[in-house]
């Protein structure tokens, strides 16, 4: 494991990276983060969602910390702990906990589609804060994205009569909000220690917190009663969904323009929807296919417009 991780050591990425390797890393991100929705769905069928999310983060965070401890990296000091704790709460404890809990009640593909709307929240927050304005492309993107969501939910109208389905939608939407807030906070906080080490710390802290909540609320089962399929899901999520996927993402981010590196967010939902239909017989028809493509197009237009104006303001 340590030998494999050392090949994509983020401290050496810029020196060793090539565009070809970066595109391979980007393809891995699309596949791995697209399949995590399926792995989570498999796990929560047989155990409480918060317990699964907690164990995933505990194992993933431990792998990160073992690697960086082996490399001799020092822990944060003093005020450096504040952003780590805040981000562990927003980006992992809330986002991962809520989204994992949400797909206990809704299809995994639908959960992935909802997660893709984060760029829309970022633009809305920027509008509220007065740091951005809508242009023609943003407005078109919002309308297209909203239209796509309407098409998707048209096929799920009858499901809204189910209280569990509504609860899953609310949890998933709350998860996107916490990720959006976390993204804004991340941008404003420049950590003076290794930011990649921070990811492992965030995972471990949130893993302890999620596990504590699961046990404290009675929303757990004994470890000996967790079936093999759930343990396999936890292992996949920790090793491939957390460690390898994050390493690949950091590699791609270092060696590709941000616009290209963000493509994964448009491909993940498609992979999740297709695999969800194949493996779990989740709904897949003309409405859902059309809605997914239209919604992703809308998110892309808004995200592109937002990033373009952001780049222009930074260059001035």
pLDDT tens per residue, range 216-232: 999 999 999 999 999 99
Taking 60 as the threshold, does the pLDDT of residue 11 lie above it?
Answer: no
CB-based contacts of 212: which residues, under 8 Å, 6+ apart? 54
Would you say residue 177 lies in a domain?
yes
Would you say residue 26 lies in a domain?
no
Would you say residue 29 lies in a domain?
no
Domain span including residue 287: 41-315
Would you say residue 47 lies in a domain?
yes
pLDDT tens per residue, range 19-30: 788 888 888 988
> Mean pLDDT, to the nearest integer, of 103-127?
83
Taking 70 as the threshold, does the pLDDT of residue 130 lie above it?
Answer: no
pLDDT of residue 293: 86
pLDDT of residue 46: 94
Lowest-confidence pick of 121-135, 138-152, 177-191, 264-278: 121-135
Find out whether 64 and 185 touch, Cβ atoms under 8 Å: no
Taking 50 as the threshold, does the pLDDT of residue 35 lie above it?
Answer: yes
Would you say residue 120 lies in a domain?
yes
Q: Which residue has the higher pLDDT, 181 or 232?
A: 232
Would you say residue 31 lies in a domain?
no
Taking 90 as the threshold, does the pLDDT of residue 93 lie above it?
Answer: yes
Instruction: Write down the mean pLDDT value for the chain.
Output: 81
Whole-number Å distance between alpha carbons of 78 and 195: 16
Would you say residue 169 lies in a domain?
yes
pLDDT of residue 311: 55
Which has the closest alpha carbon to 24: 47, 7, 1? 7
pLDDT of residue 117: 80
Whole-number Å distance between alpha carbons of 111 and 90: 18
CB-based contacts of 135: which residues, under 8 Å, 6+ apart? 305, 309
> Mean pLDDT, to the nearest integer, of 44-73?
91
> Mean pLDDT, to the nearest integer, of 116-129?
76
Taking 90 as the threshold, does the pLDDT of residue 316 lie above it?
Answer: no
Residue 18: band (very low, low, confident or very high) from pLDDT cuts 50, 70, 90: confident
Residue 195: band (very low, low, confident or very high) from pLDDT cuts 50, 70, 90: low
> Mean pLDDT, to the nearest integer, of 59-65?
91
pLDDT of residue 6: 45
Can you give the pTM of this predicted structure?
0.80
Number of separate domains in the chain: 1
pLDDT of residue 1: 46
Would you say residue 22 lies in a domain?
no
Beta strands in the chain (DSSP E): none
């Amino acid at each position: 494991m340590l030998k494999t991780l050392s090949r994509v050591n983020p401290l050496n990425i810029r020196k060793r990276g090539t565009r070809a390797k970066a595109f391979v890393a980007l393809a891995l991100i699309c596949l791995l983060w697209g399949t995590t929705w399926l792995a989570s769905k498999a796990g929560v069928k047989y155990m409480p969602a918060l317990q699964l999310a907690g164990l995933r983060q505990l194992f993933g965070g431990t792998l990160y910390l073992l690697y960086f401890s082996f490399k001799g990296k020092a822990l944060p000091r003093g005020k450096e702990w504040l952003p780590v704790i805040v981000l562990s709460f927003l980006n992992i404890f809330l986002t991962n906990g809520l989204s994992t809990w949400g797909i206990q009640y809704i299809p995994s593909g639908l959960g992935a589609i909802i997660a893709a709307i984060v760029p829309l929240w970022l633009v809305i927050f920027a509008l509220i804060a007065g740091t951005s304005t809508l242009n023609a492309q943003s407005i078109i993107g919002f309308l297209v994205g909203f239209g796509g969501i309407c098409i998707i939910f048209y096929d799920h109208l009858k499901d809204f009569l189910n209280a569990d389905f509504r609860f899953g939608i609310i949890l998933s939407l709350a998860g996107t909000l916490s990720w959006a807030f976390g993204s804004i906070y991340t941008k404003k906080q420049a950590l003076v220690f290794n930011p990649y080490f921070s990811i492992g710390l965030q995972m471990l802290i949130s893993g302890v917190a999620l596990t504590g909540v699961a046990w404290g609320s009675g929303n757990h089962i004994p470890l000996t009663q967790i079936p093999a399929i759930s343990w396999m899901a936890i292992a996949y999520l920790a090793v491939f969904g957390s460690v390898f996927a994050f390493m690949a993402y950091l590699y791609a981010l270092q060696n590709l323009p941000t616009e290209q590196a963000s493509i994964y967010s448009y491909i993940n939902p498609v992979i999740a929807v297709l695999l969800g239909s194949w493996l779990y017989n989740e709904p897949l028809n003309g409405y859902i296919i059309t809605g997914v493509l239209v919604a992703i197009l809308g998110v892309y237009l808004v995200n592109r417009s937002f990033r373009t104006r952001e780049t222009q303001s930074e260059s001035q």
